[in-house]
Structure 1
Amino acid sequence: MQQRNLLYSSATRWVLAGALVVATGWASLSHVYRRAHRKIDAVTIVLGEDPAILRTRLVDLNGGLAIRLDAAERARLYSRLTSKPLDGTAFALLALDATAKGDKVRAAKLVEHSLALEPRTRLAWLWRLDQQMRNGRTVEAANSAIRLLAVDPEQYQSYVPILAGLARDRRNIPQIATALQGNPGWREPFLSTLQSRGFDPGIRFAIMDTGKSNVSTIDRERAAFVADLIAKTDYERAYLAWISYLPESALASVDTPYDARFRGMPGPPPFNWQLTAADGDRAEANNGLDLSYSGRKPATLASQVVVLQPGDYRLRSVVANASSDGPSNSGASLTWRASCLPGNQPLGELALNTSATGKPQLSAPFRVPEATCPAVLLSLGGTASEFPVRLDARIASVQFEQVAADTGAPPSQAANPTSAIPSPKPSVLP
């Protein structure tokens, strides 16, 4: 008894192929076959049980989802209503027949009556959704799509892309976010659809920000969102999203780089420190960066992505103390390096003098170019010696210091990453 399922699947196809092209520009999804229902209903009685015939009956006609019934089929339908006057699907079939005749006023009344009798009549909801999308009534359409997800959850793979398209209308975000919050099984495919189909990242951001889930889910979604933006080299938006997730207490002390004094500030990489603890090398933030470098092979001990406005900079760092189990001229060393992303083009570096403790050390000035450097990777690397020599050190701080281009003199304040971009509020992600 597949015809009922095929009807709803085919109806979904027409909604996607017709109304979605009009309302959202989406292409048709593949035809989805659903599990057969054993129930004998109006669809079976009126149209018969041959799925091949059924697939040819649904048409996009007179600006709506329609099906042409002949006189014998109408007679069977009215006979059905004589014995089952509360059959919502029967009235929905009459509505599709009225649409085929061009009488959408009557069709709308029949759909309304169908849903009054049986609020879970899927065919009626599909007709209503199709009409709402064709006529640009996107807020009503979002409500209908949510209702379809509720009454026909097995078809969520067809309805979720429709709902994602309707999220382009920002008025729909609160009701969509609420629906996703109450139905976690829809949330992941919905967000995946936004990501895979190239929607404006601001829509995904707003949905995640409005509809709260459990903490682990939120953290995972946020990390994936930032990672997707970085993969597209949209570092500015990635940084704005990342910083908007920080607690209010952290926003008052944003340095360049973030957590410049290694206090263990909240927030994950890449806009916070990625610290190494492997192969005999260790870096820990403890109101300063405690390092233990084995000197056996080159290693990156700490790194962070920073968004800087174009201009001239130099690195400033303070080594609080350092010690080594070998001679001072062994060759093992620590160096801060700044490079452009993407591509890792070198910008500048500061080789730390581990003997000059407690004093600021400055790199030579370097320039962040305007068009080719959307972000900077700051990393602390260890350079191996010919014979392994362990180097232990504590770095008190590191900062980007902006330099006046004409004189080479530093301004009064360190570089501010937010000076290049708008205030980090959720609303800046359009």
Structure 2
Amino acid sequence: MIHSGSKMGGLLAKAVLGLSLVASALPALQYAQVATLRANAPNEAAQIAPRDARVVAAILGRRFEENPELKPSVRDLANIKAAITERPLEPKLISMLGLAYEAAGDTMQGSRVMELADRISRRDALSSLYLIETASASGDVRKTVRHYHAVLSTQPELYPTLLPILASAISYPEIRAALRPYLQGGTRWTAPFLAEAADRADAQDLEALLLPLPEKLSRDEYAPTLAKVLYQLALHGDKGEATSFARAIIPGFSSSELTNLSVSAKTIDKRLGSLAWTFPSVEGIRVEPDADNSMQISVDPLARGIVASRDLLIAGPATYQFMQRLDYSSGPGKITARWTAECITPTGRQRFWEQRLPQNEQQGKYRSVVNVPVSCKIMRVALFAEGADSQSPSVLIIKDLTLTGSD
């Protein structure tokens, strides 16, 4: 536990001092002159209002940013105390006093003052970051996460600083355990945190953090984030891990739906993300999917673009049969269409198959052979369509999509 706390503390050390000036940013005061000078020329503001708490905080904030190792002088401490006498509930100035004690080597007094600043206002960034830092350094993981929660609940502007650190730390079981109550409660920072974790964390660590899935995370607002986590499990983990997670986020889900090419209510579920059928918006093209395993594509003259795509869990090397039934509208012009397949890997994607659809019949069943390359775990199929050079839209209905073969 101490190692994980120290890791989080070390990552935060620079953030605490680097944000000291931000924590000292000042709102308007009682009169316009001091309010104007406070941010741009605090030394001049101090001549007008030498005991103005926010002016003193601004002056010291600049000095701490210029020199994070600064040790406030006796005069600095006297100015801080005098300003606090005038404005005793100014949290930013109290935080500066705590930082001054810390720099002078009085860590115990510095911690007490920082806790006071935090009690006065939970929106004081400097005291909040300081308390996270000290809790991390002590190895108290639950206390550290509790301080994270307090800061993230009130200061979303600190998400870019804190969420990457917290997301990277879920490799430690004790941190995952400390985070679970907040995920179960569905805090305001849960969704952005999980999105960050999906980008940074190991797939197995994500699975260990999220399963069993807290009830609050089943709400629609979490669907895009959970889809992102699912995709990371599919890309970096194995089929079993991805399937288990899909079952957790979609009640009644069947593992075959991650490998089944057909169009159905389950395979267009947005909780699957790109592992479901998606239909990009393209000007002049309309796609109507149907849960009976069909899609109707209407394309205006000369309109073109990707009209449908889907990522499937696959096992290469293997040979698959790609089958579909084509039904073109009557008329002189027909849609030109082609399927492509790419292998998706953590380092990029590579196209390995392309098939132009025949136009020689109004209706008919069409079969293609797809040879999936070795080590391919995710296959992306996409349908490109182009309208005919005619006076009216063309229509193509594709039905009975299936992909069969040996794993």
Classify the TM-score, shorter chain: 0.5 to 0.7
Summarize deviations over 1:344-366 as a string: whole Å, max 9, x none: 52426485686885x7x5434x4
Distance apart, 1:287 and its partner CA = 1.4
Shift of 1:285: 2.0
Indicate the residue corresponding to 2:10 in structure 1.
22
Offset of residue 368 of structure 1: 1.9
Q: Does 1:34 align with 2:44?
A: no
**Residues in 2 aligned to 1:77 and 1:369: alpha-carbon distance in whole angstroms:** 71
TM-score under structure 1 length normalisation: 0.57
Corresponding residue of 1:367: 371
The alpha-carbon distance between structure 1 residues 384 and 131, as it changes in their structure 2 partners (threshold 3 A), is: closer
The match for 1:51 is: 58
Matched residue SS, 1:102: coil
- Per the alignment, residue 271 of structure 1 pairs with 275
The equivalent residue for 1:411 is none
Q: What is the alpha-carbon distance in structure 2 between the residues aligned to residue 89 and residue 35 of structure 1?
A: 9
- Aligned with 2:264: secondary structure? coil
Code of the residue aligned with 2:56 in structure 1: it is: E
Corresponding residue for residue 39 of structure 2: none
Instruction: Say whether 1:289 aligns with 2:294.
Output: yes
Cross-structure match for 1:130: 133
CA distance in 2, matches of 1:85, 1:299: 64
- Kindly indicate whether the alpha-carbon contact (under 8 Å) linking 1:111 and 1:124 is maintained by their aligned counterparts in 2: yes
- Does the 8 A contact of 1:19 with 1:130 survive in 2? no
Cα deviations across residues 92-115 of structure 1 (Å, max 9, x unaligned)? Answer: 777555544434345556666x47
- The Cα offsets for residues 27-83 of structure 1, whole Å up to 9 and x where unpaired, read as 6756425233759xxx9589973833553368766xxxx8545289469949978x9
Q: Which residue of 1 aligns with 2:259?
A: 256
Deviations 1:354-383 (A, max 9, x none): 6885x7x5434x432225x55323245568
Matching residue of 2:222: 218
1:84, CA displacement in angstroms? 11
Look up the SS of the partner of 2:401 in the other structure.
Answer: strand
Structure 1 residue aligned with 2:172: none
Q: Structure 1 residues 370 and 53 mapped into 2: Cα distance closer, same or farther (>3 Å)?
A: same
In the TM superposition, what is the alpha-carbon distance from 1:340 to its structure 2 partner? 3.6
> Paired residue for 2:179?
173
- Retained in 1: the 8 A contact 2:26–2:58? no
1:199 aligned residue: 200
Report the aligned-residue RMSD. Answer: 5.6
Q: For the Cα contact (< 8 Å) 1:257–1:398, is it kept in 2?
A: yes
Q: Please identify which structure carries the higher helix content.
A: 2
Q: 1:73 to 1:107 in 2, by over 3 A?
A: closer
Residues 177 and 211, structure 1, Cα contact 8 Å, conserved in 2:
no
Tell whether the 8 Å contact from 1:303 to 1:380 is kept in structure 2 after alignment: yes
1:311 is matched by which residue type in structure 2? P
Identity %: 13
Give the aligned partner of residue 162 of structure 1: 162
Name the SS of the counterpart of 1:34 in structure 2.
coil
Secondary structure of the structure 1 residue equivalent to 2:253: helix
When residues 191 and 37 of structure 1 are mapped into structure 2, their CA distance, relative to the original with a 3 A threshold, is: farther
Label 1:398 to 1:336 Cα distance change in 2 as closer, same or farther (>3 A).
farther
Give matches, 1:391-430, under 5 Å: 393=397, 395-402=399-406, 415=407
Aligned length: 357
Give, in whole Å, the separation in 1 of the partners of 2:53 and 2:362.
91
TM-score normalised according to structure 2 size:
0.60
Residue 89 of structure 2 contacts residue 120 of structure 2 at CA under 8 Å; is this kept in 1? Answer: yes
Correspondences of 1:228-267 after superposition (within 5 Å)? 234=235, 240=242, 243=246, 247-251=250-254, 253-254=256-257, 256-258=259-261, 260=262, 262-265=263-266, 266-267=268-269
CA apart distance, 1:288: 3.2
The answer to whether the 8 A contact 1:95-1:108 is kept is yes
Q: Measure the CA separation in 1 of the matches of 2:274 and 2:89.
A: 60
Asked if the contact 1:344/1:377 (under 8 Å) is kept, the reply is no
Q: 1:324 to 1:97 in 2, by over 3 A?
A: closer
Q: How far 1:128 moved relative to its partner? A: 3.2
2:404 aligns to what SS in structure 1? strand
Matched residue, 1:14: none
Gaps of 5+ in 2: 1-5, 31-49, 170-174
The one of 316, 338, 341 aligned to 1:338: 341
1:146 aligns with 2:149: yes
Aligned residues of 2:191 and 2:222 also touching (Cα < 8 A): no
- How far does residue 214 in structure 1 lie from its aligned partner after superposition? 8.9
Question: Could you tell me which amino acid in structure 2 is paired with residue 398 of structure 1?
Answer: T
- Helix, strand or coil: the match of 2:381? strand
- 2:314 matches 1:308: yes
Q: Is the 8 A contact 1:138 1:166 kept in 2?
A: no
Alpha-carbon distance, 1:399 to partner: 1.1
Q: Which has the larger radius of gyration?
A: 1
Distance in 2 (CA, whole Å) between partners of 1:339 and 1:94 is: 59
The 5 Å alignment of 1:105-124 reads 105=108, 107-108=110-111, 114=116
1:347 aligns with 2:353: yes
SS at match of 1:274: coil
Question: Matched residues in 2 for 1:93 and 1:137: separation?
Answer: 24
How many angstroms apart in 2 are the aligned matches of 1:256 and 1:162?
37
| Larger CA deviation: 297-306 vs 20-29 | 20-29
Tell me, which stretches of 5 or more residues in structure 1 are unaligned?
Answer: 1-17, 403-414, 416-430
Q: Is the 8 Å Cα contact of residues 304 and 377 (structure 1) preserved in structure 2?
A: yes
